[in-house]
Structure 1
Amino acid sequence: MKILLIGEASFLHNTLKKGLVERGHRVTTMSDGNGWHDAPRDIDLRRNLRWGKFGGLWVVWQLLRHLPQLCGNDVVQIHNYQFVPLMYRWNTLLLRFLKLTNRCVVKGCFGDDPQIFRRQAQGVPAYSDTYWSGQLQNTELHRDRIAEVTDHGAEASWRKTTAMADALVPCLYEYWLDYNEPPYAAKLHYIPLPMECEKMVRWCDGEMVKWCNGEMVRWCNGEMVRCVGNVTTSPSHPNNSQLAPSHPITILIGLQPKRDFMKGAMKIAMFVEEVARRHPGKVQIKYVEGVPYDEYMRLLAEADVLVDQLYSYTPSMNSLAAMARGTVVIGGGEEEYYEFIGEDTLRPIINVRPDVPDEENIATIERALFTDGMLERMQREGVEFVHKYHDYRHVAEQYEQLYRSLLAKG
Structure 2
Amino acid sequence: MKILLIGEYSRLHNSLKEGLQVLGNEVTLLGFKDGFKDFPVDFPLVKKWDYGFLKKIKLAVLKLTGYDISSYLTYKQFKQNQKHFKGFDVVQLINEHSFFCDYPHEKKILDYLFKNNKKVFLLSAGDDYTYVNYNFNHPENPSIVQPYLNGKIVDNDFSNVLKFKRKSFKKLHEFIYQNIQGVMATDIDYHIPLQNHPNYLGLIPSPINLTKFPKRELKIGDRIIIFHGINRGSYYKKGNDFFEKALAIIQQKYQDKIDVFVTENVPYNDYINRYNQAHIVLDQLYGHDQGSNALEAMAKGKVVFTNASEIFENHYKLIEKVAVNALPDVDYLVVQLSNLIENPEELKNMGQRARKFIEKEHDYLKIAQHYLAIWK
Short-chain TM bin: 0.7 to 0.9
* CA 1:45–1:295: 2 relative to 1, 3 Å: closer
Cα RMSD, aligned residues only: 2.6
Query: Residue 302 of structure 1 aligns with which residue?
Result: 277
Q: Tell me if 1:170 matches 2:192.
A: no
1:188 and 1:402 mapped to 2: Cα distance? 8
Write the mapping of 1:30-41 to structure 2, written as runs, cut at 5 A. 30-41=30-41
Give SS of 1:126's match.
coil
Query: Residue 141 of structure 1 aligns with which residue?
Result: 154
TM-superposed deviation, 1:352: 2.0
Report which stretch shifted further, 303-312 or 89-98: 89-98
| Structure with more relative contact order (C-alpha pairs < 8 Å, separation 6 or more) | 2
Q: Tell me if 1:104 matches 2:119.
A: yes
Q: Tell me if 1:399 matches 2:371.
A: yes
Identical columns (%): 23
Report which stretch shifted further, 13-22 or 43-52: 43-52
TM-superposed deviation, 1:177: 0.4
* CA 1:42–1:358: 2 relative to 1, 3 Å: closer
TM-superposed deviation, 1:254: 1.6
**Total equivalences in the alignment:** 359
Query: Residue 193 of structure 1 aligns with which residue?
Result: 206
1:117 and 1:15 mapped to 2: Cα distance? 26
Give SS of 2:244's match.
helix
> Any conservation in 2 of the 1:323–1:329 contact (CA below 8 Å)?
yes
Radius of gyration: which is bigger?
Answer: 1
2:211 and 2:140 mapped to 1: Cα distance? 32
Structure 1 unmatched ranges of 5 or more: 210-242, 405-410
> Any conservation in 2 of the 1:79–1:109 contact (CA below 8 Å)?
yes
Query: Residue 66 of structure 2 aligns with which residue?
Result: none
Structure 2 unmatched ranges of 5 or more: 59-68
> Any conservation in 1 of the 2:152–2:236 contact (CA below 8 Å)?
no
By percentage of residues, which structure has more helix? Answer: 2
Give SS of 1:373's match.
helix
Alpha-carbon deviations, 1:294-332, whole Å to 9, x = none?
Answer: 221012211111111122322111111211222211121
Query: Residue 286 of structure 2 aligns with which residue?
Result: 311
TM-score scaled by length of structure 1: 0.80
> Any conservation in 1 of the 2:239–2:285 contact (CA below 8 Å)?
yes
Aligned AA (1:10): S
> Any conservation in 2 of the 1:45–1:85 contact (CA below 8 Å)?
no
Report which stretch shifted further, 324-333 or 115-124: 115-124
TM-superposed deviation, 1:383: 1.6
TM-superposed deviation, 1:376: 0.4
1:293 to 260, 268, 282: 268
Query: Residue 329 of structure 1 aligns with which residue?
Result: 304
Alpha-carbon deviations, 1:217-239, whole Å to 9, x = none?
Answer: xxxxxxxxxxxxxxxxxxxxxxx
1:127 to 126, 137, 142: 142
Give SS of 2:191's match.
helix
Alpha-carbon deviations, 1:33-72, whole Å to 9, x = none?
Answer: 2222222222222244498755555533443343333222
TM-superposed deviation, 1:108: 1.1
Aligned AA (2:289): T
Displaced runs of 4 or more, over 6 A = none
Alpha-carbon deviations, 1:213-269, whole Å to 9, x = none?
Answer: xxxxxxxxxxxxxxxxxxxxxxxxxxxxxx432x21111112234422111123123
Aligned AA (2:88): N
